[in-house]
Chains A and B, each alone.
Chain A
Amino acid sequence: MKKQSVGFILSVVTVVAALVGLVGYLINCGTNYFANLGVDSAVVGCTVAAIAAVIVYVVVNMKGVQTWADVLPVVAAALLMAATLLLVNTRVNAIAAVMTFENNAKNMADLVSCIVGIAGCLVATIVAVISSFFDTVKE
């Protein structure tokens, strides 16, 4: 652990936030209000791919810094940003409806997981961008 750098911690935070976002999204897809919208494979795919990229990046660098792996944080952040936007895109009408015309306790409860999903992905994106400025292991 002594070899781990700030980038490692940020990468872990990225993965955790992305997982929170993904789980939140999947829970939201199962809620009554949002179930009709189905599961967007692009959102899931981008998030999973981003998580995998971060994990691979960390694991590879633990065995020694690999230059080729430097593309992974770039890809991960881009995928997370795409997932965030696509998630918002699929939910914006429903969010507007729940906040106004169909505002009630049940729908608002369903909305929580939606917000968690979006927030998780967005936080993961931001942290991923920051972490790309750092190495995961000390030189």
Chain B
Amino acid sequence: MNTKKSGRAAQRRWRGLTTVMAVLLVIALVGQVMVNGFRTDIDKFLGTQSSIVVTDDSVSADDLYTYHSDYNSTKELLDAIEALGEKMSEEGTVLLKNNGALPLTQEETQKVSLLGFSSYYPVMGGDMGSSLAVNVGTDADTVDFVQALNAKGFKINANLQQMYKDLEPYFVTEVASWGGSITYTRITAPSIGGVFTSMEPSQAQMAETNANWKNELKNDNVMIITIARAAGENKDYTPGVAGVNPEQNLNQTDPLGLSDDERDLIAAAVAAKEANGGKVIVLLNNASALEIDEIKNNDGVDAILEIGLPGGYGFYGVADILSGAANPSGHLADTYAVVNANSPAAQNYGNFAWTNGNRDWSMNSTLVEAENIYIGYKYYETRYMDSVLGQGNATSAVGSTDGKAWSYNNEVSYPFGYGLSYTTFTQTLDKVDVDVNAKTVTATVTVKNTGSVPGKAVVQLYVSLPYTDYDKANGIEKAGVQLLDYGKTKELAANESVTVTIVADMQNMASWDSKADNAAGTKGVWMLDAGDYYFTIGNGAHEAANNILAAQGKTVANGMTEDGNANNVKTWKLANMDTTTFSVSKAGVAVENQLADMDLNYWMPGTVTWLSRSDWQGTWPKTYKDLTATDTMISYLDNDIYEITANGDPSSVTFGAKNGLTLADLKGVSDLDDPRWSVLMDQILLEECMIRTGFGGTSSKAIESIMSPLTIQNDGPNGINSYTLGQYANTDKNSGDPCTTTADDPNLSYKFGTMCNETVIAATFSKELAAEYGRVIGNYSLWANLTIFWGCGNNIHRLPYNARNHEYYSEDAVLTVEQGTSYIQAGKEYGCIIAPKHYAFNDTEINRTGISVFMTEQQARENELRGCQAIVEDGCLGLMTAFNRVGIITANAHTGLMVGILREEWGYKGLISEDFIMSANYTVLKEAVLNGVTMTCNTGENSMEAVSGKWTYWTVENVSKDAKLMAALKQAMTWQNYALANSNAMDGLAASSTLVSVRTWYDNVITGMQIVFGVLTLGCAYMYIQSLKRKEN
């Protein structure tokens, strides 16, 4: 009996062990399948390589490496990044108010009291997207405010610092996540549909923690208060009280306005100053414009500094501003309104679901941008000018803060472009030359430092266009004043003068007329109205507006906020309306309407009234919600627009030719008409095109038929933040690579998510600093071997409520595009593909995957698209599209946007990736390829089975009969590889290079597991049988 029992026990044991081994074998076998599917991502995560390029030793390093770094070591590189981060904040911090309190004296820097938890736990980057990479142990370790002040020799009250440390539980933020939450010890931005919760400790909480904290302010009476609002991708501020935590009763009327706890803190500091002397300085730590009129008007507050999100080194610059080591020269990149929710754009901001939405198609909600062209200062200054000029019902109560007649001073705290300095400047507009043939406006401005300390000055050139009866009759809108271009002086010594010459692109003062005839024989063209054009300069848009009004004979008696300087205005008269000068794009293509279907009235006539300055009251936007798509619209909203069919002659599209070229043969060939391009691309296989367009996410993989290298993609924009510097760094000193590192380099762990947010870069109004960032990125790209960088957010700040504004420059298109162009072009010098994103109209994070964005074509072209146009026309090589729809068609499938404007009008030749769209339906792969998209952001195994599994229509059998689609696929791959051939992705490659697959260590581990567990499974099974036999015996 016992023998029988023990025999059965042995059976159970060996059966169980067989099961264990079999399960482990399955893990190894299925794991191999999974590894193959995610190989690229695994390689990136582990820093391994599954394929390598082998090049003949006879090829010289000079032939292999086209691009060279300005630095000899990673230390030099990181030092440059750190120095630039400091410089950005020195020039991008905006001094909004100063009664002489700043700069601090040396003595005052020794008695600083930091107030507000955000002084100790500031917002330095985004919550997701451009989040700060904290670096420790490198040659460029990141610093917060306290660390920066200490490093710069400031002395901070330690007791207050300890008090805030003790108060930490009060401002810990729990952000919900699946299965739990993430804890932040700083303020965070609300999730979509969430509310803002003020975390500033109350006076009672502070007193409870340290009953004598106010006594600390007696001696350390330089009180610096930080008010912060966070930013983040997929985050959002809801306008008005609806956006504030209802459980708090802190008299907060807007998430971007102050709470009572913040007010009380400022009041306590002001009271301490009145009692003990000293200074009260408020730092604004934000990317979305705050409502700060009460701080502006608080005489107890001596100075206000807008510091943005300063990144890992920006607080060094802020410290320099405070101490006077640097003189502020930043200017606001956005209007600071008294009440953000009163703008016309804010009337349509939120989650407005289709009544007949369908999540299968990502058909979720609508956004009707009924404000037309009037966002930011284009609204506030235009309405102001109309109120002075007595036109357009501008002084009606609609949109006013107090419900009475609209008045500029009640609506705007600080205008776009405004900023102070520790010195004073005079600027004189000497001359303006308008050259229609050259399509330029050249302004000559004399700048003189009339103060006593050195400083830099920004020259802002504005234009006011005629607003004519023709415009009113044809629905064309004109901003009263708009930025045309800008420049920045070198540092001017006291009494030093300099002449600044600005050569502006005249296209930026053209207006889109959707109804005019054009050279293409259709409708829609850029036009210049007949009439008087006013050019002026000013410290911001409002001063410019006042100058223009002064030139028109207006004074404070007419309702102006202050008299302008008519002497700084030059006029230019155009006798007749001009619809020919800009009728053909720089790429030689006749322009025409491409976005007519973005106007909701195209689909649903008479639905939308677009805001017009001809009648502010009568056209004031209503909120468009509860829209119902018609059946015709549904036929597009389902995203199945193109049907793959047998068409054309498939044999006319050559694939798989044996022409003997490699991509390296076309290294640096920038002429896409070079016949070698078509010869090379004839070699590519249809399957390669189909897999690469489908699975392009996070890296563009190698293509063996043309020897196109695997190219890593990285996200930003606050630096190449996806991988450490060492992840792909070359440690082979014999490779000839001028940017090699050693394994013991302490900087290999560095992550470059350390630059300030783009709003700070915009606020520098310095194209040179933008370019310097591009150069640093380019150098970093060479050392890190990271080529493609989604690093130039160029969507427009339609409203401050978009919590992702930190990744975009400004509310103004010209400031956006000029900074972006300077940046991208500088990076290109090093072979780095810095790509703008998100093309286009990614104006909100609410339902961004699928939201339908509606606007007029004039609005689209003069705001958002103008913020991208010059970047593309100047030859950028990469671009990321948007999540959202353009009207009812997903951006990736919108032919007018993607082909008509981007590829044809602007002549774009580079690669295009979709954003992180995972839905097979919403990816619209076939439509995207037809519209010039070169890759989606999906990943998968390098096989047709895998890509066909994701998109069932994407089979060789289907596509090979569709000549149109085949040609589009080949064209997409041509653009993709053209971009790579003109980038540093080609460094290390020669025409003779070959791609060799290699086994990684994890491949060996998996194979080993398969063998071991296979053997053990069989062994255990064998033992089971043996136990069975023993039992039978």
A: residues with CB less than 8 A from B are: 32-33, 35-37, 65, 67, 70, 73-75, 77-78, 81-82, 85-86, 88-89, 92-94, 97-106, 108, 111, 115, 125, 128-130, 132-135, 139
Contact = CB atoms under 8 A, between A and B. Distances in A.
A88 B38 CA distance: 12
Contacts of A67: 11, 1028
Interface string B1-14: 00011001001110
Contacts of A70: 11, 15, 1024
B256 interface: no
A77 B19 contact: yes
B13 A102 contact: no
A134 B19 CA distance: 12
Interface centre among B15, B31, B37, B193 (most CB of A within 10 A): B15
A82 B939 contact: no
B193 A89 contact: no
A81 B31 CA distance: 11
B956 interface: no
A105 B498 CA distance: 57
A78 B359 contact: no
A47 B523 CA distance: 61
B32 to A, nearest CB: 10
Contact of B233 (A101, A104, A125): A101
B177 interface: yes
Contacts of B23: 77-78, 81, 125, 129
Contacts of A92: 38
B234 interface: yes
Nearest to A73: B19
Contacts of A36: 360, 919-922
Interface residues of B, number: 46
B594 to A, nearest CB: 28
Contacts of A102: 234, 849, 916, 918
A92 B918 CA distance: 11
Given A36-B920, A102-B849, A132 B19 contact: yes
Interface in B222-244: 233-234
Contact of A97 (B128, B847, B916): B916
A94 B20 CA distance: 30
A129 B27 CA distance: 13
Contacts of B34: 85, 88-89
A125 to B, nearest CB: 7
Nearest to B30: A85
B15 A74 contact: yes
Interface in B717-735: none
B359 A101 contact: no
Interface string B375-394: 00000000000000000000
Given A70-B1024, A78-B25, A103 B360 contact: no
Nearest to A128: B19
B30 A82 contact: yes
Contacts of B37: 89
A129 B19 contact: yes
Contact of B8 (A73, A129, A135): A135
Given A77-B19, A82-B26, A125-B23, A32 B360 contact: yes
Contacts of A105: 193
A32 B850 CA distance: 13
6 contacts: A78-B22, A82-B26, A82-B30, A101-B233, A103-B191, A135-B12
B18 A103 contact: no
B16 interface: yes
A135 B13 CA distance: 10
Contacts of A139: 4-5, 8
A97 B1028 CA distance: 51
A40 B939 CA distance: 18
A104 B193 contact: yes
Given A77-B23, A101-B234, A133 B918 contact: no
A115 to B, nearest CB: 8
A98 B12 CA distance: 43
Contact of B27 (A32, A35, A85, A101): A85
B33 interface: yes
Given A70-B1024, A74-B15, A99-B177, A81 B8 contact: no
A118 to B, nearest CB: 12
Interface in B5-59: 5, 8, 11-13, 15-16, 18-20, 22-23, 25-27, 30-31, 33-34, 37-38
Question: Can you list the 8 inter-chain pairs with the closest CB atoms, starting with the nearest?
Answer: A32-B359, A133-B16, A132-B19, A85-B30, A81-B26, A97-B918, A101-B916, A78-B22
A85 B178 contact: no
B192 interface: yes
Nearest to B194: A105
A45 B26 CA distance: 15
A30 to B, nearest CB: 10
Interface centre among B19, B193, B847, B938 (most CB of A within 10 A): B19
Interface in B164-221: 177-179, 191-193
A82 B915 CA distance: 32
Given A89-B33, A102-B234, A139-B4, 6 more contacts: A37-B920, A74-B15, A98-B178, A102-B918, A104-B191, A111-B178
Given A32-B359, A105-B193, A134-B12, A100 B128 contact: yes
Contacts of A86: 30
B680 to A, nearest CB: 32
Contacts of A97: 916, 918
A86 B29 CA distance: 11
Contact of A93 (B193, B233, B847, B939): B939
A135 B11 CA distance: 10
Nearest to B192: A104
A15 to B, nearest CB: 16
A133 B13 CA distance: 6
Contacts of B8: 65, 135, 139
A90 to B, nearest CB: 9
Interface string B928-964: 0000000000110000000000000000000000000
Interface centre among B23, B178, B359 (most CB of A within 10 A): B23
Nearest to B941: A89
A105 B193 CA distance: 9
B234 A133 contact: no
B233 to A, nearest CB: 7
Given A70-B15, A133-B15, A85 B26 contact: yes
Contacts of A106: 359
Contacts of A134: 12, 16
A18 to B, nearest CB: 14
Given A78-B23, A85-B30, A103 B918 contact: no
A99 B245 CA distance: 24
Nearest to A76: B19
Contacts of A101: 233-234, 915-916
B918 A100 contact: no
Interface in B512-534: none
A32 to B, nearest CB: 3
Nearest to A96: B918
A129 B16 contact: yes
A100 B234 contact: yes
Contacts of A94: 918
Contacts of A104: 191-193, 234, 847
B15 A108 contact: no
A86 B26 CA distance: 11
Contacts of A33: 359, 919
Contact of B938 (A74, A81, A93, A115): A93
A74 B193 contact: no
Nearest to A134: B12
Contacts of A74: 15, 18-19, 22
Contacts of B128: 100
Contacts of B938: 93
Contacts of B25: 78
B552 to A, nearest CB: 49
Contacts of A32: 359-360
